Amino acid sequence: MRLRILLVSHSTLASGMADTARMIMGANIPLKAICAYFDPPMDALRIAKESQNSLDPDESLIILTDVFGGSVNTMLMPIMRENTRLIAGMNLALILSLLTQDPDMPLDQIIVNAINDARTGIVDCTKLDLLYSEESF
């Protein structure tokens, strides 16, 4: 299954995440960013529906939003389908994990793996036993 990823956020978070993912993974990744409520305003719902309607039969669309229950996330809930998934709480680890999952896995497993990877990457570094003292830096 081929994935397309649509990042949708308040202001410019989505475009910043997309730029960083492209820097790491290369320019030709299947990723698009929508910056809602920004100047110029983007019609996030219209663009998401167009992305959904342009899917090939072997493609799925994963829409990542910044905040669960926020206006961007809520606006996109009605377009969820079997081939269009909506995940809130976008972060770079989640995006990179989605882009590197085995495309032969079922979509549900790809999403579970990516969410687990993203959660694992959230670490309170102040709680770690540091190998180096402050003088090492």
Sign of torsion over alpha carbons 37, 27, 48, 119:
negative
pLDDT of residue 38: 82
pLDDT of residue 39: 66
pLDDT of residue 88: 98
Map out the domains of the chain as residue ranges: 2-136
| Total-model pTM | 0.90
Q: For 88-107, write each residue's pLDDT tens digit.
A: 999 999 999 999 999 999 99
41: which DSSP letter? Answer: P
List the CATH code of the domain at 2-136: 3.40.50.510
Collapsed DSSP state (helix, strand, coil) of residue 88: strand
Q: Work out whether strand 31-36 and strand 84-88 pair parallel, antiparallel, or are unpaired.
A: unpaired
